[in-house]
């Protein structure tokens, strides 16, 4: 009975430690938010100019007005759709290029300068050039795709390079098929680090997308609404829209961070 009780006690202790750590993290995060709010309120009273820095109550009223506005939800939906398209397209393109780079050194050398150029590409200048060639609705998607692709490609190539070479050689020696090598060696070892960055990549795509929409003046978009609010000095609405983008990005980053649980279950099942 004592031996049977020891594993249960260890599991219970582990669960309690995890819950305690989660509670501690939540408290620290809440304290950080409270500090930012306090700085905002203090800065408002110091500046004392609603056209420079709006009050918390005015911003809260603007947030409520946005939540009751059909135009806001239409703009939110279109921006979210553009971000999703750019994120998925960059992920698919990076996956194909990373696979080809892993299979061919010549292709890797061919892609390297392209990735370098895209990394150094100035976002604002590129957006303005795209507005000449495309439309305000299409340009932000291309900008977000081009900004996100080098990052995702680097993450995937780094994950592939970290695959255990000895394990691959052993699989070849024992005649393991290519399909089993991909499904049981490559994917289980490359997906966890890639999926761990999926939330951060999505948040980056959102930030770049909204910035490009502001520059392009995209109609029916969060960036377009921010641009319009700045033209009419509707500072409280600008803050409200910015907070909406921050909350959306934070929620998506948290949700996508849970994707690593899929690979954890996969690896446990394989084991």
**What's residue 256's pLDDT?**
85
Instruction: Please state whether the predicted TM-score (pTM) of the whole model is above 0.85.
Output: no
Residue 5 has pLDDT above 70, yes or no: no
**What's residue 268's pLDDT?**
56
* Helix/strand/coil for 232: coil
Q: What is the pLDDT averaged over residues 17-46?
A: 85
CA of residue 104 relative to chain centroid, distance: 29
Q: Both ends of the chain: CA-CA distance in Å?
A: 29
Q: Give the integer Cα–Cα distance in Å for 221 and 112.
A: 34
* pLDDT tens digits for range 150-179: 999 998 888 887 776 777 777 777 776 766
What residues contact 190, with CB distance under 8 A and at least 6 apart? 156, 159, 160, 162, 163
Q: How many CB atoms neighbour CB 38 within 10 A?
A: 10
Residue 87 has pLDDT above 90, yes or no: yes
The closest of 43, 63, 39 to 53, measured between CA atoms, is 43
**What's residue 9's pLDDT?**
56
**What's residue 140's pLDDT?**
94
E strand intervals along the chain: none
**Of the ranges 114-118, 213-217, 256-260, which one carries the lowest mean pLDDT score?**
256-260
Read out DSSP for 236-260? HHHHHHHHHHHHHHHHHHHHHHTTH
What residues contact 158, with CB distance under 8 A and at least 6 apart? 193
Q: Give the integer Cα–Cα distance in Å for 19 and 13.
A: 10
With contact defined as beta carbons under 8 Å apart, do 153 and 94 qualify? yes
With contact defined as beta carbons under 8 Å apart, do 85 and 142 qualify? no
Q: Give the integer Cα–Cα distance in Å for 160 and 189.
A: 8
Q: Is 51 exposed, middle or buried (0-12, 13-18, 19+ CB in 10 A)?
A: exposed
């Amino acid at each position: 009975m004592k031996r049977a009780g020891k594993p249960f006690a260890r599991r219970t202790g582990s669960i309690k430690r995890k819950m305690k750590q989660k509670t501690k993290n939540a408290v620290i995060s809440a304290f950080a938010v409270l500090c930012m709010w306090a700085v905002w309120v203090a800065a408002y009273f110091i500046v004392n100019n609603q056209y420079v820095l709006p009050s918390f109550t005015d911003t809260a009223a603007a947030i409520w007005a946005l939540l009751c506005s059909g135009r806001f939800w239409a703009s939110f939906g279109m921006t979210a759709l553009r971000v999703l398209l750019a994120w998925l397209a960059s992920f698919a393109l990076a996956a194909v290029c990373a696979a080809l780079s892993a299979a061919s050194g010549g292709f890797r050398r061919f892609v390297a300068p392209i990735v370098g150029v895209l990394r150094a590409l100035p976002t604002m200048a590129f957006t303005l050039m795209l507005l000449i060639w495309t439309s305000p609705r299409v340009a932000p998607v291309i900008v977000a795709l081009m900004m996100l692709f080098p990052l995702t490609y680097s993450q995937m190539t780094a994950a592939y390079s970290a695959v255990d070479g000895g394990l691959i050689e052993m699989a070849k020696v024992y005649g393991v098929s290519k399909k089993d090598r991909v499904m049981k060696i490559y994917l289980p070892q490359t997906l966890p680090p890639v999926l761990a960055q999926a939330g951060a990549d999505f948040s980056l795509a959102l930030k770049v997308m909204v910035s490009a929409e502001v520059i392009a003046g995209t109609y029916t978009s969060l960036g377009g609404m921010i641009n319009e609010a700045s033209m009419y000095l509707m500072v409280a609405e600008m803050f409200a829209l910015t907070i909406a983008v921050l909350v959306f990005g934070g929620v998506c980053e948290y949700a996508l961070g849970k994707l690593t649980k899929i690979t954890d279950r996969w690896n446990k099942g394989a084991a």
